[in-house]
A and B are shown apart, each in its own frame.
Chain A
Amino acid sequence: MSPLRGYQRHEGPPGIRNLVACIHTVECSSFVAEEIAAASPRVHTLGFPGCYSNTYASRMMIALACHPNVGAVLLVSLGCEGTDAGTMAETIRKTGRPVEIVRIQEEGGTERAIRRGKKIVADMLAGLEKTPRLEMSISDLTIGTECGGSDATSGIAANPAVGHAFDMLVDAGATAIIEETLEMVGCAEIVASRGASTQAAEQLRETVRKAEEFSLKADQFSIAAGNHHGGLTTIEEKSMGAFAKCGSAPIRGIIKVAQKPPGHGLYVLDSVPDPSSFLFGYSNPNDSEGILDLISCGAHMVLFTTGRGSVIGSVISPVLKICGNPRTYARMSGDMDVNAGRIVTGEASVVEIGEQIFNAALEVAAGKQTRSEALGHREYCIPYKHQDLCVNA
């Protein structure tokens, strides 16, 4: 395996990619941002569609702009939206990253804004060529996991195999994050028993209880008829099938969206909206939102399991796809990085596929493109939401 050589940042861990983030601060500036980013595959467009500013969304955009995989940032603003590009730029600049703003109204419209943006991005890309490289170890890596397009094979093959890879990564000193606390419903005590400390256990219990209350309010609770048909008897069984992705390491604590884990080891990301005076926000409106939550917490890459077949990637961090259904893999192998369907067909054990995922993750950290990266997938989704930050993270 090639040694890990990361991109040095002024603060925080090194990156495994060296990108320019081109961020639209409202939907009205998204077209201009996309046109600017079309200049190079190393420029990733992302942003927030809302005109009314949202603390959660601004925090998310800043966290993504300051991600280890990002070396420079261009903010593309219309000029009259609620999100203040100037304040955002100040915060990002403090991390030592070059930041520029293009304000479309001030610039004189679409064509001038695109022309100026392209010039800025070209200079930024040239600057990134000089980013110092440094040796990285597994303990510098943060890895997230998520599932989508699940089927009966997910809980048997892909999720337990990722769980084994997570155990190997955590043993080697990495930081690991699992999300989807809504998929821990019914398992509050089981999840709490994994806490590394009494405090962590209490945090986990409260977080799963919050997810249970939210799921009842949002009517997202319970196990569907299709799940029963697929062999799942109880909500605990369904939840544990998803939870299997995080392996067996002790859980250090809870983090919220856009918060970095305070140390190494395994953490649970709570992306469920907190109760507020104005109730809005779904927990994970789609898979891309969930993936971006993990990336906003510093995940260098995301291990994504599927059974029915998903094709998505993400902006900022590579998404490595593990498919547990052998028939889906045969049909969609061009989108998949690891075939965990071999567990179902009896050709490989969970441990063997887990080791394969671990090795694949290190290759991706060393620069190898995932299938979704090579295909040019750049999905993102930042919705309106309300969340209070954890005090001790």
Chain B
Amino acid sequence: MQQKARALRINLRDNVAIALEDIPAGVGVLIEGLDGKVVIALHSIPFAHKIALSSVKRGEPILKYGVPIAFALADIPIGAWIHEHNAKSYYEARRAGEIP
């Protein structure tokens, strides 16, 4: 791990941070708002996209702004890129009758 990139954890409860720059895969990401913790990016993560700060099990909530903004569609490891491919809206899923 040579380079360091930066990401921002917005709320203390969040299990994701937001990339403050385009982050290449394999790079160490310094998480601001989390006492200088470093997480290795498993995928390349574009600016303003989300990186997992802890592992999230399938069905568990993705927390940003301290609230659930999506649930995991599969098990997500720490450092993974989180987007439509592995997370889904509760609101959309409820409207589609997929969850109660």
Contact = CB atoms under 8 A, between A and B. Distances in A.
Interface of A: 152-153, 156, 160, 185-187, 190, 228, 230-231, 233-237, 240-241, 243-244, 343-346, 349-350
Contacts of B39: none
Interface string B74-87: 00000000111001
A234 B65 CA distance: 13
A344 B83 CA distance: 21
Contacts of A187: 67, 91
A240 B64 contact: yes
Interface residues of B, number: 29
12 contacts: A153-B48, A186-B90, A187-B91, A228-B84, A231-B50, A234-B69, A234-B92, A237-B69, A240-B69, A244-B10, A244-B65, A343-B8
Given A152-B48, A235-B92, A240-B67, 9 more contacts: A186-B90, A186-B91, A187-B67, A231-B46, A231-B48, A234-B70, A234-B88, A236-B91, A349-B33
A344 B47 CA distance: 10
B32 A346 contact: yes
A243 B64 CA distance: 12
Interface of B: 6, 8, 10, 18-20, 32-33, 46-50, 62, 64-65, 67-70, 82-84, 87-92
B82 A233 contact: yes
A15 B62 CA distance: 44
A349 B49 CA distance: 19
A155 to B, nearest CB: 8
A236 B68 contact: yes
Closest 3 CB pairs of A and B: A152-B48, A234-B89, A186-B91
A234 B93 CA distance: 11
B89 A186 contact: yes
Contact of A236 (B10, B18, B89): B89
Contacts of B62: 233
B65 to A, nearest CB: 4
Given A231-B50, A231-B83, A240 B65 contact: yes
A349 B10 CA distance: 10
Nearest to A243: B65
Tell me which of B69, B82, B84, B88 has the highest count of chain A C-beta atoms within 10 A of its own C-beta: B69
Contacts of A240: 64-65, 67, 69
A243 B69 CA distance: 12
A241 B8 CA distance: 14
Given A233-B50, A237-B69, A346-B32, A160 B83 contact: no
Given A186-B91, A233-B82, A156 B8 contact: yes
Tell me which of A237, A241, A344, A346 has the highest count of chain B C-beta atoms within 10 A of its own C-beta: A237
Contacts of B89: 186, 233-236
B18 A231 contact: yes
Contacts of B65: 160, 240-241, 243-244
Given A228-B84, A231-B46, A237 B8 contact: no
A240 B66 CA distance: 10
Contacts of B90: 186, 234, 236
Nearest to A237: B69
B64 to A, nearest CB: 6
A344 B19 CA distance: 9
A233 B83 contact: yes
B88 to A, nearest CB: 7
Nearest to B8: A156
